């Protein structure tokens, strides 16, 4: 909303945007409640828990704004899709936590994959 105000957007567009955000939050809460009711009523069914992990190395969401995988992968768009065949990259939040803190001189750090440029990834700069 702050960016819209700075750009001089109309009040109607700001109201519409805030309404969409509130509708999304309400929709996600309703689906979470429905899933909890289904889980409590269907205790006899076997469910593959790995199918609903957020990432292979992270079981749940790591942000309040993130939609859980079991909710995001529903609806007509994903109706006939085999979720096990879809790419599932590792969550960067866990990979970053494994890295030690490194002291750098100045306000720029870079990573080149710890190998030469031709075998690793291109050098990536991070402004601190």
Interval 71-93: pLDDT, tens: 776 666 655 667 677 777 788 88
Predicted confidence band at 119 (pLDDT cuts at 50, 70, 90)? low
Task: Kindly report the average pLDDT of the chain as a whole number.
Answer: 68
Strand 124-127 versus strand 108-111 pairing type: antiparallel
Q: φ and ψ at 6, to 5 degrees?
A: -70, -35
Residue 31: CB atoms within 10 A of its CB come to 16
Helix/strand/coil (H, E, C) string of 60-88?
CCCCCCCCCHHHHCCCHHHCCCCHHHCCC
Cα separation of 57 and 51, whole Å?
12
Q: Which residue is associated with the tokens 């076997």?
A: 46
**Confidence band of 4 (pLDDT split at 50, 70, 90):** very low
Domain positions in the chain are 1-44
pLDDT tops 50 at residue 5: no
């Amino acid at each position: 909303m702050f960016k819209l105000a700075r750009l001089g957007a109309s009040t109607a567009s700001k109201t519409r945007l805030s309404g969409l955000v509130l509708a999304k939050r309400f929709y996600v809460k309703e689906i979470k409640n429905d899933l909890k009711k289904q889980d409590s009523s269907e205790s006899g069914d076997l469910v593959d828990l790995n199918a609903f992990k957020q990432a292979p190395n992270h079981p749940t969401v790591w942000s309040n704004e993130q939609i859980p995988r079991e909710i995001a992968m529903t609806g007509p768009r994903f109706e006939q899709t085999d979720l096990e065949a879809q790419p599932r990259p590792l969550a960067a939040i866990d990979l970053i936590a494994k890295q030690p803190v490194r002291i750098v001189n100045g306000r720029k750090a870079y990573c080149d994959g710890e190998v030469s440029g031709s075998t690793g990834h291109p050098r990536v700069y991070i402004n601190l």
